[in-house]
Structure 1
């Protein structure tokens, strides 16, 4: 009887050990499959596909600075510059070699669309070869003249352009078919001017285009409105219209009319956003969705945006993808009108 009791106790103990082992095994499996993601476990690189000091570079560095200082991202973060081809050189490498690299993000703006759609854009890759994570900021295109120009509003310029397009020198800081050119011809195209007849003079950067305007070598320049705030404040230039849906609220821009309110349906957002690799993991996507959402709402980010003279406009991944699809159609239409589409 005593032997039977001992055997029963031993059997019960063995069963308990077996169940515990199964439970531990189950827990271990759960830690691999069902537990919270540990991403990111490595350092994060944010690429600015340009040289130091430009808009992409400053955006990337500000993004990294705020995420690091607020501890929204605790892994180390660095910014890497990859200039060449207006972003096309970097995209060729990223879209083919970094398709699953969750630790490498990059910043961009409308050129990611333009370079892919333009006949001579040198990029077979576009936003669909990435995972758009968020739009961070916005700016708008503007047509700008010197303070003493005879063109006092958008309609007077466009009417003259329609009557004799070759007589007006439109300048910009980028190549034909690039962003400044598209911003310049958009209102003309919407006003009924043949874009092919618009005389566009490309300069090597917005600063040189502005110098040409102030020196009398251009009648009007197409640019982003934020880049002429200082000249506007100093009374050196006049902004005839901006490509926003409504007037801006900032002190410098509140009195500038939109093109739309002047009867020209020409809206165009110059955004800056963050992208990840095309095959980014679900865990990484969820992590960045949460982190960037918190970043956009933080006081630290809002202060930096104001300091840089940017305009806030946050779009999460889903809204950003939808917007990019819409802007892609707009750019495609303009490039076709210019005979520059692929």
Structure 2
């Protein structure tokens, strides 16, 4: 080989090494594959079929597929247990680098991690928050023939004699319905520990208890009471939103309108693993933003009676930090914090 040819081979070798180094550099700096995603994606609903997490996961995957925003196959997997805590422990330990496994969650990811009797040493900081997709709010509900006609009247009664008023909800003490039930009392100067709260197995049973005269009021999701309100079975005294809702609850005042300076959002969002690659995070940030902007997603929200509230990864993380403080404050007032 002459000198000219030898130099050509040497330059080709250097160029090939440079290309190879560039193509493999992602494996060491958590940037992930540049062609992500290259295999099917699983979205986990950490609950049984039919609940809010499950419906959100199925709506998400359906619309992403139908709009061709995501070309890869997307499947939903149900992993019930502990109000989401069982799967979160598995996710945080076994799948912390798996870019192909996402999951749906809501405020229990904060509550389970913060309460003393909670069943999770893990919380949202053991994940990568990707986007908030929807919002709902708490509602304080009484029977249609209840003597209470305003939230202020009800809270005055609780303040005067807490044990004479029974609150109920579809989740265990220290869980979301309980926190919503005591929130207006706490902000009205009542010691939350004195509020008489009875837990039922789900919102349906809580409403049945209310209608059966076994509770004076219940705390539940605002989206769950429209049909009962239209049927004339209940009165909704207040909602935990920052402004009045639309539709069936348009005439219901907010907590703040009733002189109770607080609000509480029941959100649902999408999470990735804690050590998610940069490429995967950027991919999902873009795709979820595009999803939120699509007419198909807006139609899906309307079909399910969900309120739209999109927050990007950074905004969602900031919001979670704020709500974590609110939840911790409430649990402390109940003596139920860790």
Q: TM-score, normalised by structure 2?
A: 0.95
> 1:27 is matched with which residue?
19
The question of 1:127 aligning with 2:119 is answered: no
Q: Distance in 1 between matches of 2:151 and 2:272?
A: 39
The corresponding residue for 1:3 is: none
Matches within 5 A, 1:266-277: 266-277=262-273
Q: Aligned partners of 1:71 and 1:260: how far apart in 2?
A: 42
**What is the aligned counterpart of 1:311 among 307, 310, 314?**
307
Once the two structures are TM-superposed, the CA of residue 255 in structure 1 deviates from its matched residue by 1.3
Larger radius of gyration: 1
RMSD: 1.6
- Residue equivalent to 2:83: 86
The corresponding residue for 1:327 is 323
Residue in 2 that maps onto 1:339 = 335
What pairs with 1:255-294 in structure 2 (closer than 5 Å)? Answer: 255-294=251-290
Q: In structure 1, how many angstroms separate the alpha carbons of the residues matched to 2:94 and 2:37?
A: 20
Rounded Cα–Cα distance in structure 1 between residues aligned with 2:121 and 2:10: 58
For residues 302-328 of structure 1, the C-alpha deviation after alignment (integer angstroms, 9 at most, x for no partner) is 110111000000001100111001111
Structure 1 equivalent of residue 112 of structure 2: 115
Give 2:165's aligned residue: 168
Work out the CA distance in 1 between the residues paired with 2:185 and 2:195.
Answer: 8
Aligned to 1:298: 294
Matched, 1:225 2:222: yes
Return the alpha-carbon distance in structure 2 between the equivalents of residues 194 and 251 of structure 1. 34
Post-superposition, which runs of at least 4 consecutive aligned residues in structure 1 deviate over 2 A?
10-36
Distance 2:10 2:332 in 1: 71
Give the match's secondary structure for 2:225.
helix
Q: Distance in 2 between matches of 1:22 and 1:112?
A: 51
Report deviation, 1:77. 0.9
| Structure 2 residue aligned with 1:61 | 58
Superposed, which structure 2 residues align to 1:163-242 within 5 Å?
A: 163-242=160-239
CA–CA separation in structure 2 for the residues paired with 1:242 and 1:124: 31
Secondary structure of residue in 1 paired with 2:282: helix
Structure 2 unaligned blocks of 5 or more: none
User: For 1:148, which of 145, 157, 164 is the aligned residue?
Assistant: 145
Partner SS for 2:247: coil
Deviation at 1:209, TM superposition (A): 0.5
How much does 1:76 deviate? 1.1
Encode CA deviations 1:59-92: one digit per residue, 9 max, x unaligned: 0111111111111111111100000111111111
DSSP 3-state at the match of 1:292: helix
How far apart are the structure 2 equivalents of 1:29 and 1:297? 38
**Pick from 235, 242, 245: which aligns with 2:242?**
245
Q: CA–CA distance in 1 between the matches of 2:98 and 2:154?
A: 49
Whole-Å separation in 1 of the counterparts to 2:274 and 2:9: 47
Match of residue 43 from structure 1: 40
SS in 1 for 2:268: strand
SS at match of 1:241: strand
CA apart distance, 1:247: 0.9
- d(CA) in 2 for partners of 1:319 and 1:127? 14
Tell me, in whole angstroms, the C-alpha distance in 1 between the residues paired with 2:186 and 2:17. Answer: 67
Q: How many residues align?
A: 333
SS of the residue 1:140 aligns to: strand
Q: Which residue does 1:4 correspond to in 2? A: none
